[in-house]
Amino acid sequence: MSNVCHFCGKRKAVGGSITRKGLAKKAGGIGMHVVKNVKRTFEPNLQTVHINENGQVKTVKLCTDCIRTGNYTKA
């Protein structure tokens, strides 16, 4: 089973983690300076759920946002 939500299609997203160094201007410093920018991934919060779909019981992965909506019938 892939790491994708069955209903909304939410999947892994790519972003960056920026490391800053220094004292902020509002705290009396000369500002925060970027030291490092590292690529990272944001994983969806997927849970395995048993649902009824067309009269059949299926095991699917749903993100917690879709679980909270309740637009499915539990098996």
One-letter amino acid for residue 58 of the chain? K
Per the structure block, which two tokens stand in for 44? Answer: 């969806």
Task: With CA atoms as reference, report the closest residue to 41 among 5, 18, 9, 12.
Answer: 12
pLDDT at 32: 96
- Please, are residues 33 and 25 in contact by the beta-carbon 8 Å criterion? no
> In residues, how long is the chain?
75
Domains in the chain (CATH in brackets) are: 13-74 (2.30.170)
d(CA 24, CA 33): 9
Largest Cα–Cα distance in the chain? 65
In tens digits, the chain (75 residues) has pLDDT values of 689 999 999 999 999 999 999 999 999 999 999 999 999 999 999 999 999 999 999 999 999 999 999 999 998
